[in-house]
Amino acid sequence: MAKVLEGPGMALLSKWGMTVPRNVVITEADHLDRLAAVNVWLRESRLVVKAHEAIGSRMKLGLVKVGLRLSEAKSAASEMFARNLDGMPIAQVIVSEEIPHREEYYLAVQSTRDGAELLMGAGGIDVEAHWDRVGAIAIPTGSEPLGDQVENLAKEAGIPRPRIEKIADFALKLYQCYSQEDATYIEINPLVLREFDGEFVALDAVTMVDADARFRHPDWNFTYASEFGRPYTQAERAIMEIDSRIKGSVKFIEIPGGDTALLPAGGGASVYYADAVLAMGGKIANYAEYSGDPPDWAVEALTERVCSLKGIQRIIVGGAIANFTNVKKTFSGIIAGFRKAKQEGKLDGVQIWVRRGGPYEQEGLAAMKALEEEGFDIHVYDRYTPLTDIVEYAMKGVSA
């Protein structure tokens, strides 16, 4: 599951026939001048400026400014770019046309164990405080909502009678977007009725999609939003791009300030090692994993990013006993990454601790052990050494 920021989320809604405000995403306030030269609406409309980040309650945080002219929008964008929220800088701002309206509604589709759920009701920034005004219908797997069902939902949710047919049509389009775009959650709040023509317009969108479905959508030209309250780093994005096009999997998230880097095989090992390091008073520098027998070049790329982490004292490699991952093959990628990092001076004073079992483990472990002859401070163990011992050895810096 991956979060999509508001701009590309709006583009998905528009793709499926829903009306959204015209908008642009900028990374510098001065970009507005150039965009205004070719977008008349930026010069003539009242504008809304919002931080284009994965942050909830932007209005309450002062990260939404409304009713602005172009010069005011530029100033508001500059102020937002200068903001820093708990260490997270604002890297993008979205500027959209203001839509005059009076009525605000809430519309969403979310996945459930048995299919999906369509929600509708009165909207606004305090919708959670009035959840009793939001109704829902269940949509079993393999079926789609019917027009009559959605219109009945609108009636039960208290939607004014003249709006029922239009909002039902909008909701059906939202469900098609959810279904066809491999989404897991789409929320529109607020959905408003535009004053001059009575058209429904989505003013905001929270969108979650199945990240592993990207191969089915060649038009997905957006990057996913970080789930950690900050933009993805360049290294994280590079590994995500590799992960999207290989057999198997490689994952990488940086955690600044850690002293112990992790390069585990599989998600279970990654969680175990992280917990064990923290339990012994260490600080992890990253989350990472390689699994599903990924190609050695992908593992090499992951290793390079792990070795580039600042301030690390040790790297813990490996995991439990593999069922089908070729240990020798994946270790060849790690070894290549280690060699490149050493040539660049990135492993000076860093200990490497290895524990692994599985197909071709003896060949793989022997190749790792041979790195001692190249000057690596490396300690290698096979399946007969418990994972718990490896973490203890690594944290204490003492072999068995």
In angstroms and rounded to an integer, the radius of gyration of the C-alpha atoms of the chain is: 26
Query: Which tokens is 57 given?
Result: 């309650």
Is residue 270 a part of any domain in this protein? yes
pLDDT for the residue 87: 63
pLDDT for the residue 199: 94
Q: Are 389 and 261 contained in the same domain?
A: yes
Q: Are 105 and 72 contained in the same domain?
A: no
Which phi and psi (to 5°) does residue 367 adopt? -65, -40
pLDDT for the residue 228: 63
Pairing relation of β-strands 260-264 and 286-291? Answer: unpaired
CATH number for the domain harbouring residue 193: 3.30.470.20
Q: Are 210 and 345 contained in the same domain?
A: no
Q: Are 238 and 354 contained in the same domain?
A: yes
* Residue-wise DSSP of 212-268: GGGGG-TT---PPBPSSSSPPPHHHHHHHHHHTTSSSEEEEEE-TT-SEEEEEBSHH
pLDDT for the residue 86: 67
Q: Are 52 and 111 contained in the same domain?
A: no
* Regions of the chain short of the pLDDT cut 70: 86-87, 227-231, 322-324, 400
Is residue 15 a part of any domain in this protein? no
Strand-pairing partners, residue 140, are 115
pLDDT tens digits for range 113-122: 999 999 999 8
pLDDT for the residue 229: 59
What is the rounded CA–CA span in Å between residue 317 and residue 257?
A: 19
Q: Are 37 and 113 contained in the same domain?
A: no
Question: Which domain-ending residue is among 152, 183, 215?
Answer: 215
Query: Which tokens is 330 given?
Result: 């994946």
Q: Which of 237, 238, 240, 262 is nearest to 251 (CA)?
A: 240
Question: Which domain-ending residue is among 97, 130, 160?
Answer: 97
Place of tokens 């499926």: 16
pLDDT tens digits for range 197-210: 999 999 999 999 99
What is the rounded CA–CA span in Å between residue 21 and residue 110?
A: 23
pLDDT for the residue 162: 92
Query: Which tokens is 18 given?
Result: 């829903």
Q: Which of 42, 32, 37 is nearest to 69 (CA)?
A: 42
Q: Are 254 and 167 contained in the same domain?
A: no
pLDDT for the residue 230: 67
| Residue 33: domain span | 22-97
Is residue 228 a part of any domain in this protein? no
